[in-house]
Amino acid sequence: MRPLRVGIVCPYSFDAPGGVQFHVRDLAEALRDQGHEVSVLAPAGEGTELPDVVTSAGRAVPVRYNGSVARLAFGPRTAARVRRWIDAGDFDVLHLHEPMTPSLSMLALWVAEGPVVATFHTSQVRSRALQIAHPLLRQSLEKISARIAVSEDARRTLVDHLGGDAVVVPNGVYVDAFDVAPEPRWQGTAQAPTIAFLGRLDEPRKGLQVLAQAAPGILRQVPGARFLVAGRGDTGRADAEALLGPDAASFEWLGGVSDADKAALLASADLYVAPQTGGESFGIVLVEAMSAGAGVVASDLGAFQRVLDDGAAGRLFTTGDPAALTRAVLGALADPQDTAERRRRASEFVRHFDWSTVTGQVLAVYEMAVAAAEALGDGRVRQDLAAERPAWLLGRRTRTEAGGDR
């Protein structure tokens, strides 16, 4: 494929980066490594440290969304920034993440003209937000040339709420970046194993309270066990400590960690525990733990089952059940041979998620979108879509008015 000029839009702010932001950042880097020209537009507050590929669209405001707090940007001023960025980029492909979320991607979809690829990350059984947004955006969705879902769960959410279908392309990880030396202070022993947890502590769906309820049972059998908890959230920590009581002394609170420290933590821990209770469409942290060589114990969410090869690459327990988590952890610690075999399987299976594989799959979707647009002409926006856009978006100049096509 010839080098492409790719514009990627991230709806969530880089002020408090999470899975989608990291995915967008790493995809941009992977595309650049293959010779493509890439620009990313994302919300970010003044003073936020950004990768050189990211352009700030201004500050965002926190909004509760899908069991979490998303930082989004919307409105006339943001729309103007989106228009200017699209005009200046003159992209061959515009790649929008979560275009149904009221933020930059939705604004970019309203004003987009050329080939548009959309990636859907969300997994929900029922989404009131999608149900409300669909009638308002139905015609604009027709502008999307190709759809990607990051998992079968995200694809099912898309099909059930919006109709149509999507190609499943998983989130990517630089697998070899997690092949790092262990950090001695985080390593355990047979009598004092270390069990790691990473996640936002104030988000109940990340399952910290499930781990806190399971910990006493683990400590009764393995009194020397240490729990290493990485993530921000004072309220979540306080709630967990209240549940733990005297067992709180076995928890070490690491706060937010850098990418390097995260890799070292995962490479050092005997087990990585993922007790999430819902709202997970993929499970990128499981892939990172597998890449680092940690044994994995995870709730049996559909997305986690698929990432762990239906349990061959890690142990699964009943979602939200502290007693089941206790049994799974104790089983993994008591049978090191079985845990080692699951780790061996994980080291093979995780290659499916390496960016060397995933980037090629994304580029294949880009090629399909570009070919479809060329077959239909230059793919400019249809005039009958203007009726569903807010009045403050209608002042956009076309490429011809801005100086013509390349």
Mind spelling out the 3-state secondary structure of 53-101?
CEEECCCCEEEEECCEEEEECCCHHHHHHHHHHHHHHCCCEEEEECCCC
Question: Is residue 215 situated within a structural domain?
Answer: yes
Q: What pLDDT score was predicted for residue 396?
A: 44
Based on the domain organization, do 103 and 206 belong to the same domain?
Answer: no
Based on the domain organization, do 22 and 168 belong to the same domain?
Answer: yes
Based on the domain organization, do 75 and 145 belong to the same domain?
Answer: yes
What sign for the dihedral angle of Cα 244, 248, 254, 255? positive
Number of domains observed in the structure of the chain? 2
Token pair 């709202």 is at which residue? 279
Per DSSP, what are the bridge partners of residue 317? 299
Q: How many residues does the chain have?
A: 406
pLDDT tens across the length of the chain (406 residues): 789 999 999 999 998 878 899 999 999 999 999 999 999 999 999 989 999 999 999 998 888 765 567 788 888 999 999 999 999 999 999 999 999 888 999 999 999 989 999 999 988 655 555 555 656 666 778 889 999 999 999 999 888 888 889 999 999 999 999 999 999 999 999 999 999 999 999 999 999 999 999 999 999 999 999 999 999 999 999 999 999 999 999 999 999 999 999 999 999 999 999 999 998 889 999 999 999 999 999 999 999 999 999 999 999 999 999 999 999 999 999 999 999 999 999 999 999 999 999 999 999 999 999 998 888 765 443 444 444 555 545 444 443 333 333 3
Based on the domain organization, do 96 and 85 belong to the same domain?
Answer: yes
- Each residue's pLDDT tens digit, 195-216: 999 999 999 999 999 999 999 9
Question: Is residue 91 situated within a structural domain?
Answer: yes
Based on the domain organization, do 358 and 348 belong to the same domain?
Answer: no
Based on the domain organization, do 308 and 378 belong to the same domain?
Answer: no
Per the CB < 8 A criterion, the answer to whether 299 and 316 are in contact is yes
Token pair 């930059």 is at which residue? 104
Question: Is residue 58 situated within a structural domain?
Answer: yes
How far apart are alpha carbons 104 and 100 in whole angstroms?
Answer: 10
Q: How far is CA 220 from the centre of its chain?
A: 36
Domain of 374, in residue numbers: 5-172+354-400
Based on the domain organization, do 186 and 289 belong to the same domain?
Answer: yes
Round to the nearest angstrom and report the end-to-end CA distance of the chain: 19
Nearest to 37 by CA among 10, 84, 4: 4
Backbone angles phi, psi at 70, to 5 degrees: -100, 140
Backbone angles phi, psi at 204, to 5 degrees: -55, -35
Question: Any idea what the CATH number is for the domain that residue 208 is in?
Answer: 3.40.50.2000
Question: Is residue 405 situated within a structural domain?
Answer: no
Structure tokens belonging to residue 377: 């002409």
Nearest to 21 by CA among 47, 51, 46, 58: 51
SS3 (DSSP) at 200: coil
Based on the domain organization, do 65 and 166 belong to the same domain?
Answer: yes
Based on the domain organization, do 260 and 346 belong to the same domain?
Answer: yes
How far apart are alpha carbons 112 and 106 in whole angstroms?
Answer: 10
Based on the domain organization, do 110 and 229 belong to the same domain?
Answer: no
Question: Is residue 260 situated within a structural domain?
Answer: yes
Helix axes 19-33, 284-292, angle to 10 degrees: 60
Question: Is residue 33 situated within a structural domain?
Answer: yes
Q: Identify the domain boundary among 317, 335, 352.
A: 352
How far apart are alpha carbons 91 and 87 in whole angstroms?
Answer: 8
Per the CB < 8 A criterion, the answer to whether 69 and 63 are in contact is yes
Backbone angles phi, psi at 57, to 5 degrees: -100, 15
SS3 (DSSP) at 35: coil
Single pTM value for the model: 0.84
Per DSSP, what are the bridge partners of residue 53? none
Question: Any residues with CB less than 8 A from the CB of 371 and at least 6 apart, and which?
Answer: none
In b/e form, how buried is each residue of 14-39, taking b as 16+ CB within 10 angstroms?
bbbbbbbbbbbbbbbbbbeeeebebb
Token pair 């100086």 is at which residue? 403
Based on the domain organization, do 301 and 262 belong to the same domain?
Answer: yes
Structure tokens belonging to residue 246: 């005297």
Q: What pLDDT score was predicted for residue 30?
A: 97
Question: Is residue 406 situated within a structural domain?
Answer: no
Q: What pLDDT score was predicted for residue 390?
A: 56
Question: Is residue 239 situated within a structural domain?
Answer: yes
Based on the domain organization, do 373 and 338 belong to the same domain?
Answer: no
How far apart are alpha carbons 81 and 58 in whole angstroms?
Answer: 8
